[in-house]
């Protein structure tokens, strides 16, 4: 145990204490929730930036909770991938918390929103930092259960329906995960992820491992909304208030779905060629199906929700390729997608805040009345469509290059096609919502308040400069560290074991 590793539990402690303090104090003092929400998420973001440096200096860190040594006790692990996810999650959460200060004014109980929001954040950070597979399930459920309530936050008829559908589907996913964990425990007699990896390596491949793989693909696939497990997402994500849609689409499906999927398949069970080709196939399928479903939508947020499915497909395709370049592209696209998709949802929230509608056909020319929203939304649209120099271009380029390099020309073709269709559908958004002539009825609308503008502009700047993460100095310490963890595969367990000996 080194001094630096004390930073690891902070990511769970901060949002949890923020959540419950908000629920005690925020009921009476109306200014408390705003302050606590913004300050906790900002602190968590600062700590995650600090963690980049800490991991760069001292390598993989392990924290044994309650001084119980792994594999008996619960371990928290911080390596390159963890830090990468922490930065993504907390950056988006911080922007959303600031945005919600103004946006959530129209709802009566802001403290409930912030309590649930911080609980989701605690769950996501927990999933990312934990090194214990059952603990992962617990944090997964914390984040999921809080997000059911957030989807139903408006308590209108369709919101409750969407929340119920989401709750049922997502619980089924969690049960698959739980069953997988039960079988793993029966087979290996341990719950520590590094220990599981070494036991499976020693026992050799058995049929039970394939069974567990199938269960995890179904469970985490449901959480990540891969086609054919995507049915809940187009209902759940548009129904929630805009900051929550941004949270759900931006980071929740990634930290609960994609992160857990790749951590378990690469580092714990070990990647096999069949799992890899299955992931690539599902990725390509989500990519194409998602974009075809999206292009015909007229509801702004529903269109964005279908695009989430499509973009998640890119991430899974990249990670499923299994080559270092593919993994790098997949993870980079994960980061970029978090930024531009949350920005797009925040834009749709801003439009709804000003005009009260989500129907693209009723909008038009809004950019002249809402310059900040129009500009940031242009940035995000170009980013998601993969136009240089925005960040989405670079990550899509890497994924397509990696597919060509690995000899998967078919997948590369589908990736290009989906990108073109994405461009077409965001041309439609820009044309109908922001460009063109201003309709009579929107003559009086005003630009959104200051905090909403602030957070949208911050995310737009990250969209514009995101490509800079590929510059050699920054890439070495951030993206490469993350993709190395996955490329090393089951050597993960050896690293953790080494850390453990070092600790004594």
Partner 1 sequence: MSREREQGMTVIVKTITRLTVGLILLYGIYILSHGHVSPGGGFAGGVIIALSFVHLMLAYGKEVALGKLPKAATFFFESMGALLFLGIALFGFTSGYFFLNFISKGEPFRLFSAGIIPLCNIAISLKVGAGLFAIFIALVLLRFESENKE
**Smallest distance from the beta carbon of 30 to partner 1, in angstroms?**
16
**Smallest distance from the beta carbon of 324 to partner 1, in angstroms?**
35
Cβ neighbour number for residue 164 with a 10 Å cutoff:
15
**Smallest distance from the beta carbon of 28 to partner 1, in angstroms?**
10
Residue partners of 488: CB distance under 8 A and separation at least 6: 267, 495
Measured CA to CA, the distance from residue 60 to residue 423 in angstroms comes to: 40
CA 196 to chain centre: 26
Q: Which H or E element spans position 294?
A: helix 273-295
Q: Which is nearer to partner 1, 9 or 449 (CB)?
A: 9
Measured CA to CA, the distance from residue 377 to residue 186 in angstroms comes to: 50
Q: Which is nearer to partner 1, 51 or 458 (CB)?
A: 51
**Smallest distance from the beta carbon of 424 to partner 1, in angstroms?**
46
**Smallest distance from the beta carbon of 27 to partner 1, in angstroms?**
7
Q: Which is nearer to partner 1, 111 or 393 (CB)?
A: 111
Q: Which is nearer to partner 1, 1 or 175 (CB)?
A: 1
**Smallest distance from the beta carbon of 96 to partner 1, in angstroms?**
23
Contact status, residue 39 vs residue 121, Cβ threshold 8 Å: no
The SS3 assignment for 435 reads coil
Q: Which is nearer to partner 1, 20 or 42 (CB)?
A: 20
**Smallest distance from the beta carbon of 199 to partner 1, in angstroms?**
26
Contact status, residue 299 vs residue 235, Cβ threshold 8 Å: no
**Smallest distance from the beta carbon of 13 to partner 1, in angstroms?**
7
**Smallest distance from the beta carbon of 301 to partner 1, in angstroms?**
28
Q: Which is nearer to partner 1, 28 or 446 (CB)?
A: 28
Q: Which is nearer to partner 1, 115 or 377 (CB)?
A: 115
Exposed, middle or buried: residue 204 (CB in 10 Å: 0-12, 13-18, 19+)?
exposed
Q: Which is nearer to partner 1, 146 or 382 (CB)?
A: 146
Q: Which is nearer to partner 1, 27 or 158 (CB)?
A: 27
**Nearest by Cα to 11 from 54, 72, 59:** 54
What are 129's two structure tokens? 């930092």
Measured CA to CA, the distance from residue 113 to residue 366 in angstroms comes to: 29
Measured CA to CA, the distance from residue 475 to residue 480 in angstroms comes to: 6
Q: What is the DSSP letter of 31?
A: T
**Smallest distance from the beta carbon of 69 to partner 1, in angstroms?**
11
CA 290 to chain centre: 17
What are 238's two structure tokens? 């548009």
Q: What is the DSSP letter of 227?
A: T
**Nearest by Cα to 319 from 283, 369, 361:** 283
**Smallest distance from the beta carbon of 108 to partner 1, in angstroms?**
15
Please list the residues that pair with 62 across neighbouring strands. Answer: 77
Residue partners of 171: CB distance under 8 A and separation at least 6: 144
Q: Which H or E element spans position 141?
A: helix 133-151
Measured CA to CA, the distance from residue 393 to residue 397 in angstroms comes to: 6
- How many Cα atoms are found within 13 Å in the side-chain-facing hemisphere of 220? 26
- Describe the crossing of helices 32-58 and 10-25 by its angle, rounded to 10 degrees: 180
Residues that bind partner 1 (CB under 8 A): 1, 6, 9, 13, 16-17, 20-21, 23-24, 27, 63-67
What are 292's two structure tokens? 């075809």
Q: Which is nearer to partner 1, 109 or 274 (CB)?
A: 109
**Smallest distance from the beta carbon of 72 to partner 1, in angstroms?**
14
Q: Which is nearer to partner 1, 13 or 465 (CB)?
A: 13
The SS3 assignment for 334 reads helix
Measured CA to CA, the distance from residue 327 to residue 77 in angstroms comes to: 20
Measured CA to CA, the distance from residue 1 to residue 411 in angstroms comes to: 45
Q: Which is nearer to partner 1, 167 or 463 (CB)?
A: 167
What are 304's two structure tokens? 């964005």
**Smallest distance from the beta carbon of 19 to partner 1, in angstroms?**
8
Q: Which is nearer to partner 1, 75 or 89 (CB)?
A: 75
Q: Which residue has the tokens 């909770």?
A: 65
């Amino acid at each position: 145990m080194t001094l630096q590793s004390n930073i690891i539990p902070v990511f769970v402690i901060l949002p949890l204490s923020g959540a419950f303090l908000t629920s005690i104090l925020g009921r009476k003092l109306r200014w408390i929730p705003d302050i606590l929400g913004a300050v906790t998420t900002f602190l968590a973001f600062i700590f995650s930036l600090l963690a980049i440096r800490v991991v760069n200096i001292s390598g993989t860190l392990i924290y044994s909770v309650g001084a119980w040594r792994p594999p008996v006790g619960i371990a928290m692990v911080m390596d390159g991938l963890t830090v990468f996810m922490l930065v993504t999650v907390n950056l988006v959460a911080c922007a959303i918390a600031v945005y919600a200060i103004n946006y959530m004014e129209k709802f009566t109980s802001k403290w409930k929103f912030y309590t649930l929001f911080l609980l989701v954040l605690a769950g996501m950070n927990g999933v990312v930092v934990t090194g214990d597979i059952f603990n992962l399930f617990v944090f997964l459920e914390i984040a999921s259960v809080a997000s059911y309530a957030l989807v139903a936050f408006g308590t209108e008829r369709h919101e409750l329906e969407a929340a119920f559908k989401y709750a049922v589907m997502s619980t089924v996913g969690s049960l698959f995960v739980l069953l997988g964990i039960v079988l793993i425990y029966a087979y290996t007699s341990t719950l520590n992820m590094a220990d599981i990896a070494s036991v499976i390596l020693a026992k050799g491949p058995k049929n039970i491992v394939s069974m567990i793989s199938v269960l995890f693909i179904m469970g985490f696939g449901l959480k990540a909304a891969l086609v054919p497990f995507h049915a809940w997402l187009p209902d759940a994500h548009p129904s929630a208030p805009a900051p929550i849609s941004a949270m759900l689409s931006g980071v929740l499906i990634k930290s609960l779905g994609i992160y857990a999927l790749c951590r378990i398949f690469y580092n714990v069970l070990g990647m096999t060629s069949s799992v890899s080709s299955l992931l690539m196939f599902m990725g390509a399928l989500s990519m194409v199906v998602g974009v075809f479903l999206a292009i015909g939508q007229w509801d702004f947020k529903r269109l964005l929700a279908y695009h989430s499915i499509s973009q998640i497909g890119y991430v899974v395709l990249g990670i499923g390729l299994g080559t270092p370049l593919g993994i790098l592209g997949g993870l980079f696209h994960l980061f970029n997608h978090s930024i531009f998709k949350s920005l797009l949802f925040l834009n749709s929230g801003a439009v709804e805040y000003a005009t009260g509608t989500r129907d693209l056909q009723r909008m038009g020319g809004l950019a002249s009345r809402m310059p900040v929203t129009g500009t940031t939304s242009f940035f995000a649209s170009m980013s998601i469509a993969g136009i240089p120099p925005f960040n989405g271009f670079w990550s899509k380029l890497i994924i397509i290059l990696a597919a060509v390099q690995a000899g998967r020309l078919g997948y590369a073709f589908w990736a290009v096609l989906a990108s073109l269709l994405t461009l077409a559908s965001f041309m439609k958004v820009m044309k109908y919502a922001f460009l063109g002539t201003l309709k009579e009825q929107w003559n009086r609308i005003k630009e959104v308040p200051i905090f909403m503008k602030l957070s949208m502009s911050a995310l737009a700047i990250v969209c514009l400069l995101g490509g800079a993460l590929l510059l050699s100095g920054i890439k070495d310490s951030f993206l490469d560290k993350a993709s190395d963890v996955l490329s090393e595969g089951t050597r993960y367990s050896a690293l953790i074991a080494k850390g453990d000996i070092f600790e004594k």
